[in-house]
Amino acid sequence: MAESSFNRRTFLGWAGLSLLVLAADPFDAFAKKSRISRKNQRKKNAASNASSQPTRYDVSYSWHNQLEDALDYMEELRSVLGDGLGEELGSIVQRKIRIVRSTQSGLYGIIYNMNSENIELCRALAADHSSILKESVLKEKDLEPAECVGDTGYNFLYNVCYGLGRNLEELKRVYSTVSTMLGQGVTRNLVIEKTLDGNYALVYKRYDTLESTARIAEHHAKLLAEKGIGAAQRLENNDEIVFGESSMLNEEREYKKRIQHSQKKKSSVHEQKEIKKYKENKHQPPQINEKDNNTLEASVEKYISSLRKRRFLQPDEKTSFVIYDLKANETLVSINEDVPMQAASMVKPLAALAFFHRVEKGELKYGLISKANMEAMIQRSRNSATNWVMQQVGGPEEVQRILHENYEDIFKQTSVVEYIPAGGRTYLNKASAHDYSRFMFALWHGKLPYSSEMKRLMALPNRDRIYTGASHVPEGTIVYDKTGSTSQCCGDFGILVTRKQNPILPGRFPYIIVGIIEKPSGADSYKSWIKSRGDIIREVSNMAHDEMSKRYNL
């Protein structure tokens, strides 16, 4: 693949500046921060800051009213700025991108924690970041995307930590105990992170003040004392997340499946017949009448229509939705499902399938390097990792050939024609919502190469639009998904595996959900457009869960 001049500039300029910044600012030099900023906020506070001139400087990107919005934008910012730097440097640099909170307005900001006395170096890095962001999907009309600011007026945020060490498997066991003891309110934001020095930390992601987090840590320490587990506040370092709620639930599900498979093998033919007969009598398949079957689709169509009438959706924006009940094998929503739409980063699981197809054929190996690239591609949506995976397969054309020749019943409207360009501005790869739903159906039933590994990858903790921020979808839901975001496409596809909230009558109820919104030209403001369209998909996800809850009395 030919390397663009933008890629070379990004690597030589951005990486060079980053190395200078890292040399000038030791990574562990943390200080209490402050400052509001971003266009109007900077002007308002210019007078107050003049009285206490800063002696150190950071790069500021954007400010948000809601923490969730800041976290969403930070994930995309990290993906763009971390691309092309290599795994080691990219990891170090991305950890310096932090969420802070203004001491005056309470807004959540995203900064690059330079903590540098060299204002010229800060300005140079801000200018380089601005030039990268202006050429990326994060471009904002008439707004400078990065600026050098004095590091006064904002504070770092803190989480609760329950353990730190080299043994990941041991921390997974502690994770299970903490989850059980502290409940779903904690579990939804409970993760295991990999620190810069190679340790693993079990962390409850609170993103709150030091004082508040210290109080919560003290309370949790008392609750966990009988299990020999401590709790303490820990600075939010933006470390790489390697394990979370869906990871745990997916591992438990895969383990149970292996046990059941093993027990089945040991059972006699007669016993298997008796078990089958019992299950058939005990669990009759749900009876779904046509009227109920159309209710959800009508509700979604009514919701989309109301958005168009109120101009929240523009006339030139296309929408496509699929909701499929895997328990009943029933399509609940099918809106423009066969229309090819821009794939954006949703093409990445398809590239993974092409790679694993060649691994299964013995033509490629799935080792440590390829696993790291797969995780970077699916969980962190790293474009350079995607291009690496595509290169191993043989390029976009070879990915397309493998999908078309071997999985033609799944990918009927899919067209993979390009690598992911620098800055993430990918508009040419296409697929339909129906293709994604057929892909997830085959993945759920283990009909694809390395199905279990692909599910593990898609269950790794990340920001999404079908569970994160979807208030009706309960904690304890397993999430397998991949988002896609450009200034012309906002989408997410995956499987949600919800459960009965009654522990006496347990059960899992999986369903596929696909939501895509596309516009023919780029939005003037990426941030506001992607947030509002993401919220539309979240609301459809809420509606889908409400329907599943009604059907199965969840």
Between 316 and 35, residue with greater pLDDT: 316
**Residue 457 is encoded by which pair of tokens?**
């990858």
Q: Among 29-43, 90-104, 431-445, whose mean pLDDT is lowest?
A: 29-43
Instruction: Give the model confidence (pLDDT) of 2-46 as tens digits.
Output: 333 334 344 445 555 555 555 554 333 333 333 334 445 444 443
Q: Among 163-167, 259-263, 298-302, whose mean pLDDT is lowest?
A: 259-263
Q: What is the pLDDT of residue 504?
A: 53
Q: Which of 92, 82, 80, 94 is nearest to 134 (CA)?
A: 80
The gap between the terminal CA atoms of the chain, to the nearest Å, is 50
State what percent of residues in the chain have pLDDT above 70: 81
SS3 for 192?
A: strand
Instruction: Give the model confidence (pLDDT) of 465-478 as tens digits.
Output: 999 999 999 988 99
The domain defined by 290-552 folds into: Beta-lactamase (3.40.710)
- Is the CB of residue 181 less than 8 Å from the CB of residue 214? no
Enumerate long-range contacts of 188-192, CB under 8 Å, 24 or more apart.
Answer: 188/245, 188/475, 190/244, 190/245, 191/241, 191/242, 191/243, 191/244, 191/461, 192/168, 192/241, 192/242, 192/243, 192/244
- Is the CB of residue 233 less than 8 Å from the CB of residue 215? no
Instruction: Give the model confidence (pLDDT) of 126-177 as tens digits.
Output: 999 999 898 888 877 667 789 999 988 999 999 999 999 999 999 999 999 9
Q: What is the pLDDT of residue 135?
A: 87
Q: Is the pLDDT of residue 385 over 90?
A: yes
- Is the CB of residue 159 less than 8 Å from the CB of residue 233? yes
- Sequence-distant (6+) residues with CB within 8 A of 339 are 318, 320, 413, 432, 433
Q: How far apart are CA 500 and CA 237, in angstroms?
A: 36
DSSP 332: E
- For every residue of 276-320, which 3-state class applies, written as one string? HHHHHHHCCCCCCCHHHHHHHHHHHHHHHHHHHHCCCCCCCCEEE
Q: What is the pLDDT of residue 146?
A: 93
**Residue 281 is encoded by which pair of tokens?**
């009598």
Sequence ranges of the domains in the chain: 5-156, 158-245, 290-552
Cβ-based burial of 136 (10 A; exposed 0-12, middle 13-18, buried ≥19): buried
Q: How far apart are CA 196 and CA 471, in angstroms?
A: 33
Instruction: Give the model confidence (pLDDT) of 488-530 as tens digits.
Output: 999 999 999 998 866 555 688 999 999 999 999 999 889 999 9
**Residue 264 is encoded by which pair of tokens?**
């089945």
Q: Is the pLDDT of residue 453 over 80?
A: yes
Q: What is the pLDDT of residue 282?
A: 38
Q: Is the pLDDT of residue 80 over 90?
A: no
Q: What is the pLDDT of residue 311?
A: 95
Model confidence at 443, pLDDT cuts 50, 70, 90, reads: very high
Alpha-carbon torsion, ordered 336, 338, 342, 344, to 10 deg: 100
Q: What is the pLDDT of residue 419?
A: 96
Q: Is the pLDDT of residue 249 over 90?
A: no
Please list the alpha-helical segments (H only) found in 96-244: 119-134, 168-182, 184-187, 210-224
State what percent of residues in the chain have pLDDT above 90: 69
Task: State mean pLDDT over 297-321.
Answer: 97
Model confidence at 281, pLDDT cuts 50, 70, 90, reads: very low
What's the CATH number of domain 158-245, 3.30.70, 3.30.310, 2.60.40, 1.10.1740? 3.30.70
Between 9 and 371, residue with greater pLDDT: 371
* pTM (two decimals): 0.83
Cβ-based burial of 322 (10 A; exposed 0-12, middle 13-18, buried ≥19): buried
**Residue pointed to by tokens 């639930």:** 249
Task: State mean pLDDT over 482-490.
Answer: 96
Burial 268-307 (b: 16+ CB within 10 A, else e): eeeeeeeeeeeeeeeeeeeeeeeeeeeebbebbeeebeeb
Q: Identity (one letter) of the amino acid at 56?
A: R
Q: Which of 122, 120, 134, 106 is nearest to 35 (CA)?
A: 106
Q: What is the pLDDT of residue 277?
A: 47
Q: How far apart are CA 327 and CA 518, in angstroms?
A: 30
Q: What is the pLDDT of residue 528?
A: 93
Q: Among 27-41, 207-221, 424-438, 499-513, whose mean pLDDT is lowest?
A: 27-41
Instruction: Give the model confidence (pLDDT) of 392-409 as tens digits.
Output: 999 999 999 999 999 999
Model confidence at 290, pLDDT cuts 50, 70, 90, reads: very low
In order of 17, 383, 482, the CA distances from 422 in angstroms are: 19, 8, 20
Q: What is the pLDDT of residue 264?
A: 59
- What's the chain's length in residues? 554
Q: How far apart are CA 334 and CA 436, in angstroms?
A: 12
Q: How far apart are CA 312 and CA 402, in angstroms?
A: 39
Task: Identify the sign of the CA torsion 149, 150, 154, 157.
Answer: positive
- For every residue of 309-323, which 3-state class applies, written as one string? HCCCCCCCCEEEEEE
Q: Is the pLDDT of residue 414 over 80?
A: yes
- Sequence-distant (6+) residues with CB within 8 A of 31 are 56, 115, 151
Between 456 and 37, residue with greater pLDDT: 456
Two domains, one topology: 158-245 and 290-552: no
Q: What is the pLDDT of residue 313?
A: 97
Q: How far apart are CA 235 and CA 201, in angstroms?
A: 12
